[in-house]
């Protein structure tokens, strides 16, 4: 669903009025958020989008991108604050020791000296110091550990859950057979054409060769039929005479001609396809279904957890902060 620019932002952008574009947007848990710092890593992408001739679509895309990035920024801060708050005093020294060990390993992996490591980090993450890089690594580790402990236990999947998902997608895992039928029909009144076809088949030409000689496209393909559980007899739109004839078709063998009131008709089975069924007891499929359910539940539980953290940690009006940030973006990149 397209996310429209809130009317409140439009109202804050009168023509020819100056607006600050490098300002404090607000604070999350006492940590200030400045517009320039937030937009620095996203500026190239915003400029590219803003250059689109479709201004409305470009604005909507930027609003969606910045809104998602802001929500992610807030969530990251909250999860890090929660993780740090849960470290007991006696555990602080252990974290520092772990961080020191991690830094030494990182330096060793990036050349062996602090200067080499700094150059390597700068090449990969321009403007980032070793301390900033290690702090980011620490935050990722703490956040990942907390999410695993708080959310992962809520994503346990039972055998019944797997069965339900398998049943919902049973047609995908147990595909029905499919056949493709070829058909050549010629009016009885066109005796020369009838004789020609009979002669070509008698000479050993294949169905597709005869179709080509007659100028019939796609090898005289007539229709594709998905065979239901009840077989050909369960195909609803075929008359009994045609059903009986289709049952007798063989792959690439010519059947006919048979006569109707006005036509001679030849038929063949062009192809028959039956994809192998995948049983619920297939180990790989079971793992796939479990992961699908786990990922879905993880996403839902993560949203619930972040909502809980916002009520516990955040005192600021996040929506107002987001609108201020979007207002700055619109002024900086979309003002004509």
CA 311 to each of CA 8, 105, 191, 305, 308: distance values in angstroms, whole numbers, following the listed order: 25, 38, 86, 10, 5
Q: Which two tokens stand for residue 253?
A: 């063998």
166 found inside a domain: no
Do 322 and 197 belong to one domain? no
98 found inside a domain: yes
Look up tokens 């516990």; give the residue: 312
Do residues 96 and 87 make contact, with C-beta atoms less than 8 angstroms apart? no
267 found inside a domain: yes
Do 228 and 139 belong to one domain? no
Do 23 and 86 belong to one domain? yes
Do 55 and 142 belong to one domain? yes
Do residues 264 and 257 make contact, with C-beta atoms less than 8 angstroms apart? yes
Do residues 30 and 313 make contact, with C-beta atoms less than 8 angstroms apart? no
Q: For CA atoms 52, 53, 56, 57, give the dihedral sign.
A: negative
Q: What is the pTM of this model?
A: 0.59
Residue 2 has pLDDT above 50, yes or no: no
Structural domain count of the chain: 2
Which residues are CB-neighbours of 116 under 8 A, at least 6 positions away? 107, 110
Please give the pLDDT value at position 3: 45
Phi-psi domain of 219 (left: phi exceeds 0; alpha: psi -120 through 50; beta: other)? left
Higher model confidence: residue 57 or residue 318? Answer: 57
Report the relative pairing of strands 221-226 and 178-187 from DSSP bridges: antiparallel
Residue 1 has pLDDT above 50, yes or no: no
Please give the pLDDT value at position 16: 58
Do 45 and 131 belong to one domain? yes
Residue 186 has pLDDT above 50, yes or no: yes
Residue 220 has pLDDT above 90, yes or no: no
Do 31 and 89 belong to one domain? yes
Q: Which two tokens stand for residue 43?
A: 């500026």
298-303 mean pLDDT: 90
Do 3 and 141 belong to one domain? yes
Please give the pLDDT value at position 283: 92
164 found inside a domain: no
283-307 mean pLDDT: 92
Residue 6 has pLDDT above 70, yes or no: no
Q: End of a domain among 273, 297, 325? A: 273
Cβ atoms within 10 Å, residue 228? 13
Please give the pLDDT value at position 5: 47
Do 1 and 123 belong to one domain? yes
Do 245 and 132 belong to one domain? no
> Where does the pLDDT of residue 240 fall: very low under 50, low under 70, confident under 90, or very high at 90 and above?
confident
Q: End of a domain among 273, 297, 324? A: 273
pLDDT by residue (tens digit) across 81-110?
888 777 777 777 777 787 777 778 878 888
298 found inside a domain: no
Q: Which two tokens stand for residue 6?
A: 């809130």
27-52 mean pLDDT: 85
Higher model confidence: residue 128 or residue 15? Answer: 128
Q: Tell me the percentage of the chain whose pLDDT exceeds 70.
A: 92
Do 118 and 5 belong to one domain? yes
> Where does the pLDDT of residue 61 fall: very low under 50, low under 70, confident under 90, or very high at 90 and above?
very high
Closest of 317, 335, 331 to residue 25, by C-alpha: 317
**What string of H, E and C letters represents the secondary structure of 159-209?**
HHHHHHHHHHCHHHHCCCCEEEEEEEEEECCCHHHHHHHHHHHHCCCCHHH
Do 102 and 186 belong to one domain? no
Which residues are CB-neighbours of 334 under 8 A, at least 6 positions away? 50, 55, 58, 59, 62
169 found inside a domain: no
| Structural domain boundaries enclosing 260 | 176-273
Residue 21 has pLDDT above 50, yes or no: no
229 found inside a domain: yes
* Cα separation, 152 vs 158, whole angstroms: 14
């Amino acid at each position: 669903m397209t996310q429209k620019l809130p009317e409140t932002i439009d109202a804050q952008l009168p023509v020819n009025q100056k607006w600050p574009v490098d300002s404090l947007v607000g604070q999350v848990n006492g940590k200030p958020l400045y517009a320039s710092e937030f937009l620095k890593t996203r500026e190239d992408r915003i400029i590219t989008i803003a250059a689109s001739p479709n201004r409305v679509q470009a604005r909507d895309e930027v609003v969606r991108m910045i809104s998602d990035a802001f929500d992610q920024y807030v969530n990251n801060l909250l999860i890090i604050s929660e993780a740090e708050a849960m470290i007991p005093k006696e555990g602080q020294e252990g974290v520092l020791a772990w961080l020191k060990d991690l830094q030494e390993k990182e330096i060793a992996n990036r050349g062996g000296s602090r200067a080499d490591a700094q150059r390597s980090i700068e090449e990969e993450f321009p403007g980032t110091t070793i301390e900033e890089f290690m702090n980011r690594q620490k935050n990722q580790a703490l956040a990942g550990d907390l999410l695993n402990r708080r959310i992962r236990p809520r994503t346990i999947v039972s055998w019944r859950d797997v069965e339900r998902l398998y049943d919902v997608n049973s047609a995908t895992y147990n595909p029905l057979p499919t056949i493709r039928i070829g058909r050549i029909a010629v009016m009885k009144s066109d005796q020369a054409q009838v004789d020609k076809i009979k002669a070509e088949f008698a000479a050993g030409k294949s169905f597709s060769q005869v179709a080509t000689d007659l100028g019939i496209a796609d090898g005289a393909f007539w229709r594709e039929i998905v065979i239901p559980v009840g077989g050909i007899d369960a195909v609803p739109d075929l008359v009994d005479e045609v059903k009986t004839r289709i049952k007798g078709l063989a792959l690439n063998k010519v059947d006919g001609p048979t006569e109707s009131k006005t036509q001679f008709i030849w038929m063949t089975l062009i192809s028959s396809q039956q994809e192998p069924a995948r049983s619920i007891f297939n180990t790989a499929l079971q793992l796939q279904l479990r992961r699908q359910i786990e990922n879905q539940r993880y996403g839902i539980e993560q949203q619930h957890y972040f909502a809980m953290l916002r009520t516990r940690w955040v005192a600021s009006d996040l929506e107002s902060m987001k609108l201020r940030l979007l207002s700055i973006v619109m002024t900086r990149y979309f003002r004509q």
